[in-house]
Amino acid sequence: MKRIEDFLPLSQATYYILLSLREVRHGYAIMQDVEEISHGEVTMGPGTLYGALGKLEKQKIIAKADVDEGERRKYYRLTRLGKDILQMEYKRLESLVKNASSIIKGMEGEHDDCQKV
């Protein structure tokens, strides 16, 4: 059985898809929400999105949600595994930023000492 760590690191697109599924959504709503919560940094077309959703569903990170039978759209939700993966990835990213913060701040204002060859 796979451990949560085996799914990490997530791609930027996958991370935002999982964030978007903090509530049940259909594909188009996921695309819109990803663009909104990433402040336009991540936009995805239907091919990219539905390829990712298919893979995530196969891995049991997300699942189809039960909705009104008359609805032709497919709705998705995070599974418990998906929530755990998202939280662990958040902690991993937070740790990366925290650990590098003072180093990066120390580099600000430094001039590149390398000379062009």
Question: Measured between alpha carbons, how far is residue 8 from residues 5, 82, 89 in Å?
Answer: 5, 12, 7
Query: How far does Cα 5 stand from its chain's mean position?
Result: 15
Q: Which of 62, 12, 20, 18 is nearest to 37 (CA)?
A: 20
Encode pLDDT of 64-81 as tens digits: 998 776 778 899 999 999
The per-residue pLDDT for 109 is: 73
Buried b (16+ CB within 10 A) or exposed e, 86-109: bebbeeeeeeeeeeeeeeeeeeee
Six token digits for residue 18: 């999982």
The pLDDT tens digits for 8-60 are 999 999 999 999 999 999 999 999 999 999 999 999 999 999 999 999 999 99
Predicted pLDDT of residue 79: 97
pLDDT at 110 over 90: no
- What is the model's pTM? 0.86
